[in-house]
Amino acid sequence: MSLLEARLAVDLGDFRLDLDLRCDRGVTAVLGPNGSGKTTALKAVAGLHTLTSGHVRAGGRAWADHGARLHLPPEARSVGMLLADPLLFPHLNLLDNVAYGPRSRGMPRRAARERAATELGRVGLAELARRRPAQVSQGQAQRAALARALATDPAVLLLDEPLSALDPQTRSATRAELSHRLREFDGVTVLVTHDALDALTLGDRLVFLEEGREVQSGTPAEVISRPRSPYVAGVVGLNLLRGTLAQRASATGRPASANALDLGAGEQLVVAEVPDGTRPGDPLLATIAPEAVALFTRRPQTSARNLWPLTVSAVTVTGPRARIHLTGAVDLVAEVTLGAVAELELVAGREVWVSVKATEVTAYPA
């Protein structure tokens, strides 16, 4: 039995969330594009949305059960919540902000302030306890909000994009502090984020949502090694192609490699190895790292088995490197240096030749 067992079915107009969420101690990171249902799931666990069907149980206690017509309000659930905005009371210092949580649950003032002081120390803010929110940085305010959420000793801690409002430098430092504190937390943490780095560095388990449903879940290592949808592949920084193991002759009548995927429209992807036991016609997925996609201004003389003329659709710069989005017979993303962008004159609309070595392709069952 998991510490948190939530069978979440929620109808909101034209949108329906249908998710089976089971979490144990540690951090479960829920990812998905905008509108996929991430925040809806969090609110359903917290009691801010009423279930259309299903249940929520934490630590063996029922918080909601549609069949039994049970719906505990948020204040009756052992939940701590942290949003992108820390929502600290501006007229209270950090100590009293954190103490507000346990005091609102009936703890005497002195005991609540002692508990608050302990939590502020755990997030590295003991020396700032007497300061008001306007006198501390964004990152420090967010850590104080985390301390307030944990001061009630919740069974479940819900984090909704907790780092999204921070600047990059503050975000990095706060992420490290958050990771350290969450490792000490004995309960369940559910983190909603669209940021891959937050999910991969904080999450013990990843759950991906698309259009209100789970499309993949697993440890970060499992997801990185075998993404199962284009969105998941994009999050972990890989290209994903879907096809079937080719017959000995391709759809165009040309001889086919024994290790090739039919991608449709006569296109193939040659791979070094296919999974054991795979037969012609079996569906397969294949991943290619963006840095393994080589670009040329004219057709190259190359030993690479995969070669296509493609068109640059967009160029995005991230630090000293750029990601080149390519469309045509296949859609790929390449990653190159900024020097290569200038040398190859990579701009939207530019036609280039693209090659990928068979040894750079990983194939696995769809």
Which H, E and C letters describe 170-220, residue by residue? HHHHHHHHHHHHHHHCCCEEEEECCCHHHHHHHCCEEEEEECCEEEEEECH
Residues 161, 21 within the same domain: yes
Residues 319, 349 within the same domain: yes
Structure tokens at 159: 């984090």
Residues 201, 155 within the same domain: yes
Structure tokens at 244: 């079937």
Residue 336 lies in a domain: yes
Could you tell me the pTM of the whole model?
0.87
pLDDT of residue 248: 58
Residue 233 lies in a domain: no
What CA–CA distances, in Å, run from 50 to 2, 7, 91, 231, 246? 22, 12, 34, 29, 49
Residues 257, 182 within the same domain: no
Residues 315, 359 within the same domain: yes
d(CA 29, CA 208): 8
Helical axes 94-104 vs 109-122, angle rounded to 10°? 120
What CA–CA distances, in Å, run from 153 to 58, 61, 103? 14, 16, 12
Residues 48, 165 within the same domain: yes
**Domain closes at, from 176, 204, 227:** 227
**Domain closes at, from 159, 192, 227:** 227
Whether residue 181 contacts residue 146, with contact meaning beta carbons closer than 8 Å, is answered with yes
* Residue 69: domain span: 4-227
Residues 84, 222 within the same domain: yes
Residue 122 lies in a domain: yes
d(CA 342, CA 308): 21
Q: Taking the alpha carbons of 177, 37, 226, 262 in that order, is the dihedral positive or negative?
A: negative
Residue 206 lies in a domain: yes
Whether residue 40 contacts residue 19, with contact meaning beta carbons closer than 8 Å, is answered with no
Residues 138, 171 within the same domain: yes
Residue-level length of the chain: 366
How many domains are contained in the chain? 2
Structure tokens at 362: 């990983």
- Going residue by residue through the chain (366 aa), what tens digit of pLDDT does each one get? 789 999 999 999 999 999 999 999 999 999 999 999 999 999 999 999 999 999 999 998 999 999 999 999 999 999 999 998 999 999 999 999 999 989 988 899 999 999 999 999 999 999 999 999 999 999 999 999 999 999 999 999 999 999 888 888 888 888 988 898 999 999 999 999 988 889 999 999 999 999 999 999 999 999 999 999 999 999 999 999 999 999 754 444 444 456 899 999 889 999 999 998 899 999 999 999 999 999 999 999 988 889 999 999 999 998 899 999 999 999 999 999 999 999 999 999 999 999 999 999 999 999
Residue 121 lies in a domain: yes
Q: Give the CATH number for residue 92.
A: 3.40.50.300
Residues 206, 285 within the same domain: no
d(CA 268, CA 220): 30
How many CA atoms lie less than 13 Å away from 98 in the CB half-sphere? 34
Residue 110 lies in a domain: yes
Q: Give the CATH number for residue 344.
A: 2.40.50.100
Q: Helix or strand or coil: residue 4?
A: strand
d(CA 158, CA 217): 18
Residue type, 51: L
Long-range pairs of 22-26 with CB within 8 A, sequence gap ≥ 24: 23/188, 23/190, 23/205, 24/188, 25/186, 25/187, 25/188, 26/188, 26/189, 26/204, 26/205
Residues 119, 158 within the same domain: yes
**Domain closes at, from 193, 227, 261:** 227
Residues 131, 218 within the same domain: yes
d(CA 349, CA 252): 28
pLDDT of residue 174: 87
Strand 188-192 and strand 156-160: pairing? parallel
Residue 314 lies in a domain: yes
Q: Taking the alpha carbons of 113, 114, 115, 118 in that order, is the dihedral positive or negative?
A: positive
Residues 216, 243 within the same domain: no
Residue 232 lies in a domain: no
